Amino acid sequence: MSDNPGDALLDAIEPASSAASGEIHQVRGPLSWRSELRRQWGRRRTLWAFGLLLALPLVLVGSFAFGERSSNSRGGASTRIFDLAQSGAANFSLVLVFLASELLLVLLAALFCGDAVPSEASWSSLRYLLIAPVQRARLLTSKLAIGIASTLLATVLLPAWGLLVGGVAYGWDPLTNPLGENLTWGQFLPRLALAMAYIFVTLLPIAAIAFWLGTRSDAPLAAVGGAVLVSILLNILDQLDALDPYRNAFPGHYSRAWQDALAVSPDYTDMVHGALWALVWAVAFTMLAYRRFRRSDILS
């Protein structure tokens, strides 16, 4: 009989009645950061996202090398930016950030934060987490924390990797910008860190919107796509002068203010505004997400 499935389990069971019953021995809180990290990090989408991020500077370097042969004729404003990118590590990483901050990082933030909950729902594993049991709020907190941490990692990785690739490809020259403002490495690195911190904060509203949509939908695509759509719509509305000054409050209105941090004499006013509004939206949508998820019936 011992080859029957289940025998080992039944052998392991002590009669329940004998134990003074079920003192559950917790060694950690439910859905600890570590266990959530393991759930998200092995995923194909995470690896792809970071792979893409790491490939971007290499693609840039490659295309610059390729383009050198054909284009020495005309120098428009856009080519000047790319000429500038090739003048050293600092410029290269800055151009990289400039290119990626508009869409790539937004997309990644929406992916990391928007996909976490609905993907569990779509695999039906969400209900098993909840009956493990993991408190609703705890589940959201873990998912959000790891999503935000992944976003942060992407935000840090982008310029750091850009500096490394740029340095190897174009040398370790400090920043020169077209307005004629040069920063030494000692000035540039803290400013870059500040700019990245600011970019990270401005990503939070989109992350929070994606997260909130994720608690409303079981389809990961709906959450990520919805958040990106919202971001695009807001960008369009932001173009309308008629909405001035109300558009200042839009998430994304100050999305380029990080460039202020890299001026020789930085003006942080816009960054302060941008960061505050970003936090307002991030907190608001995070609250909506918690409110929604705490009360919702899990039917997935």
Partner 1 sequence: MSVRASLIAALVLGSGLTMAPAPSALAAASVGQAADTVAPEVSSVPVGAEPDGTAVRLDVSVWPQSSGKHPVVLLAHGFGGSKDSVTSQANDLHDRGYVVVAWSARGHGQSGGRIHLNDPAYEIADARTLLDLAARRSDVELDAPGDPRAGVMGASYGGALALMLAGSDRRVDGVVSAITWNDLADAFFPQAAVTRAPTTAAGRSPIDGAGPFKQVWATNFFLSALRGGAGGQGGQGAGADRCGRFDPTICRLFVQASETGTASPQLTALLRAHSPKPTMNVVTAPTFLVQGVGDSLFGLDQADATASALAATGAPYAVRWSDGGHDAASTHEAEEVEASYTWLDHYVRDQGARGSALPTAAFTYGTPAGRAGQPTTLHTLTAYPGLSGAALRTRELPLATTSGALVHPPGGQPASLIAVPGLAALGVSLSTYQIAALPGQSAALDTQPLAEAATVVGSPTMRVTVTSDSPDVTLFASVWRVTGGSVTLTNPLVAPLRLAVTPGRPTPVTISLPAATYEMPAGTRWRVLLTSTESTYSNSRSPSAIRISDASAMTLPVATGATVDGAVAGVVDTETILAGSALALLLVAALVGWLVRRRRRLHRPTRPDLADVPLVVEGLVKTYADGHRAVDDVTWRAEKGQVVGLLGPNGAGKTTTMRMVMGLISSDAGSVHVLGEPVSAGSRVLGRVGALIEGPGFLPHLTGRQNLEAYWSATGRAPEDAHIPEALDVAALGGAVDRPVKSYSHGMKQRLGIAQAMLGLPELLILDEPTNGLDPPQIAAMRPILRRYAETGRTVVVSSHLLAEVEMTCTHVVVMHAGRVVTQGPVAELVDSDDTTILDLPERVDHTLVSAAVHALEAADGVTEVRVDTPTRIVVVADRGRAEVVAAAVTAGLPVVGVSSRRHLEEVFLGVISSASAPGVVGEPGDEGASLVERLRQVRAR
Answer yes or no whether residue 247 interacts with partner 1 by CB under 8 A: no
Query: Of 11-19, 49-57, 65-73, 104-112, which segment contacts partner 1 by CB under 8 A?
Result: 11-19
Give the nearest distance from C-beta 194 to partner 1 in angstroms: 14
Q: Are the C-beta atoms of residues 110 and 214 closer than 8 Å to each other?
A: no
Query: Of 42-50, 57-65, 99-107, 220-228, which segment contacts partner 1 by CB under 8 A?
Result: 42-50
226, two tokens = 């919805």
Of residues 48-77, those binding partner 1 (CB under 8 A): 77
171, two tokens = 């040398």
| Torsion of Cα atoms, 230 then 236 then 242 then 243, to 10° | 30
Give the nearest distance from C-beta 118 to partner 1 in angstroms: 13
Q: Between 69 and 74, whose beta carbon lies closer to partner 1? A: 74
Of residues 133-192, those binding partner 1 (CB under 8 A): 133-136, 138, 176-182
Report, in angstroms and rounded to the nearest whole number, the Rg of the chain calculated over CA atoms: 24
- Please give the Cα distance from 221 to 22 (Å, whole number): 41
Give the nearest distance from C-beta 128 to partner 1 in angstroms: 5
Single out the residue of 130, 145, 189, 219 in contact with partner 1 (rule: CB under 8 A): 130
Give the nearest distance from C-beta 91 to partner 1 in angstroms: 9
177, two tokens = 């910008």
Query: Of 83-91, 159-167, 189-197, 201-209, which segment contacts partner 1 by CB under 8 A?
Result: 83-91
In 3D, which of 283, 247, 300 has the Cα closest to residue 124?
300
User: CA 27: distance to chain centroid?
Assistant: 30
Query: Of 35-43, 48-56, 64-72, 160-168, which segment contacts partner 1 by CB under 8 A?
Result: 35-43
Single out the residue of 14, 186, 236, 242 in contact with partner 1 (rule: CB under 8 A): 14
Sign of the dihedral defined by the CA atoms of residues 274, 275, 281, 285, in that order: positive
223, two tokens = 């959450």
Of residues 248-267, those binding partner 1 (CB under 8 A): 248-249, 259-260, 263-267
Of residues 195-234, those binding partner 1 (CB under 8 A): none
Cα angle 267-259-205, degrees, rounded to a multiple of 5: 100
Q: Could you tell me how many residues of this chain bind partner 1 (CB under 8 A)? A: 89
Answer yes or no whether residue 39 interacts with partner 1 by CB under 8 A: yes
- Please give the Cα distance from 52 to 146 (Å, whole number): 19
11, two tokens = 């052998």
Q: Are the C-beta atoms of residues 153 and 146 closer than 8 Å to each other?
A: no
Query: Of 99-107, 200-208, 212-220, 243-251, which segment contacts partner 1 by CB under 8 A?
Result: 243-251
